[in-house]
């Protein structure tokens, strides 16, 4: 039997290059090796989302991007978190074995509480409990995570250990599968690529939009004149070209340092490479978007499959906890 992978994606709408290189590309690759369960975590989004008017369209747009990128409903279970209501039951039950002190110590909770002191809600404190419920409801063995998410997974493992010790062996302790992909920096050259900072490039943007965005990217700040030698190690355009044109990196490094190439030409090459790379994805996305009800069907079918696993888990959990 294949091991099971679980991962959740926040419904932030159309995906950008950072989402793609940092997560989705990896999800597609894992489909061959593991039994994959991928979920759009709409309930998690409610902990910080004040306006939910765009939630449904964000889910649909993100789904279209993921399907066009290669997530395959024939190979993976793909669904929306809240369409499997058992998640709420397990969230409540795991809450009974999770000490409040563990949750209050989570660095991201402290940071969010500091940033939004007017909205320190119960859902925010309980976020790691729901994340644990997401993973163990499907008895996932493996969770792909970046290094920054390791503390969250460790907390999930602690909750699992506590549950298993108290009620008997029920859940596998989820193992981290470290995704080694470095953080994708945005077009400002400073912060992580993010929609909220508007320093991103959507993977499904048009070729013209992509080129326009890339031409506005910050490069080596010390390179003021075309004749100034560049420092590719501090330039984000260079980093992006490493992903999309690895074959030119050695010569680009030398050409940049000797001012043989200018930043305008360098960005034009990157834009062409990005557009070339995503052209098949964009065409596929347009095809899928044109099929009436396709995304809804994928989500409904995924939720049906996910519920079969979830109901089995909940029956076992309730029996072990003495509820039935």
Applying CB under 6 A, the residues found at the interface with ligand SF4 are 219-220, 223, 230, 232, 235, 237-238, 256, 261, 263, 266-267
Nearest CA to 196 out of 27, 40, 10, 72 is that of 10
- Active-site choice (192, 239, 268, 318): 192
As a three-state string, the secondary structure of 29-55 is HHHHHCEEEEEECHHHHCCCCCCCCCH
- Active-site choice (25, 195, 268, 318): 195
192 is catalytic: yes
- Let me know: does 305 contact 77? Beta carbons within 8 Å: yes
2 is catalytic: no
Residue 31's Cβ-side half-sphere holds a number of Cα atoms within 13 Å equal to: 19
Least distance from ligand SF4 to the Cβ atom of residue 17, Å: 16
- Distance, in Å, from the CA atom of 199 to the CA atom of 190, rounded to the nearest integer, reads 9
- Let me know: does 44 contact 82? Beta carbons within 8 Å: no
- Let me know: does 205 contact 195? Beta carbons within 8 Å: no
Specify the residue, 212 or 319, whose C-beta has the smaller distance to ligand SF4: 212
- Active-site choice (112, 139, 213, 267): 112
Specify the residue, 4 or 213, whose C-beta has the smaller distance to ligand SF4: 213
195 is catalytic: yes
- Let me know: does 291 contact 67? Beta carbons within 8 Å: no
Specify the residue, 28 or 237, whose C-beta has the smaller distance to ligand SF4: 237
Specify the residue, 4 or 223, whose C-beta has the smaller distance to ligand SF4: 223
- Which sequence positions are flagged as catalytic? 112, 192, 195
């Amino acid at each position: 039997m294949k091991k099971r992978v679980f991962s959740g994606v926040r419904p932030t709408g159309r995906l950008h290059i950072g989402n793609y290189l940092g997560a989705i590309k990896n999800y597609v690759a894992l489909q061959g090796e593991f039994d994959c369960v991928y979920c759009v975590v709409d309930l998690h989004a409610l902990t910080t989302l004040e306006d939910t008017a765009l939630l449904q369209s964000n889910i649909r747009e993100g789904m279209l991007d993921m399907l066009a990128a290669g997530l395959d409903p024939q190979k993976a279970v793909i669904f929306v978190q809240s369409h499997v209501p058992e998640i709420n039951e397990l969230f409540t039950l795991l809450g009974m074995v999770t000490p409040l002190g563990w949750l209050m110590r989570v660095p991201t909770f402290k940071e969010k509480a500091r940033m939004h002191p007017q909205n320190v809600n119960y859902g925010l404190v309980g976020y790691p409990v729901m994340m644990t419920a997401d993973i163990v409801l499907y008895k996932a063995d493996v969770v792909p995570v970046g290094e920054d998410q390791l503390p969250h997974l460790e907390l999930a493992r602690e909750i699992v250990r506590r549950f298993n010790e108290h009620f008997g062996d029920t859940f596998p302790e989820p193992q981290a599968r470290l995704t080694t992909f470095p953080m994708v920096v945005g077009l400002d050259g400073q912060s992580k690529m993010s929609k909220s900072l508007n320093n991103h490039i959507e993977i499904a943007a048009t070729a013209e939009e992509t080129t326009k965005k890339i031409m506005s990217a910050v490069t080596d700040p010390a390179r003021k004149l075309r004749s100034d030698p560049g420092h590719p190690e501090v330039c984000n355009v260079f980093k992006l070209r490493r992903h999309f044109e690895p074959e030119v990196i050695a010569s680009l490094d030398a050409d940049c340092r000797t001012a043989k190439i200018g930043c305008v030409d360098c960005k034009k090459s990157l834009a062409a490479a990005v557009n070339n790379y995503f052209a098949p994805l964009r065409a596929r996305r347009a095809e899928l978007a044109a099929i009436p009800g396709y995304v809804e069907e994928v989500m409904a079918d995924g939720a049906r499959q996910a519920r079969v696993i979830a109901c089995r888990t909940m029956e076992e959990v309730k029996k072990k906890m003495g509820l039935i």
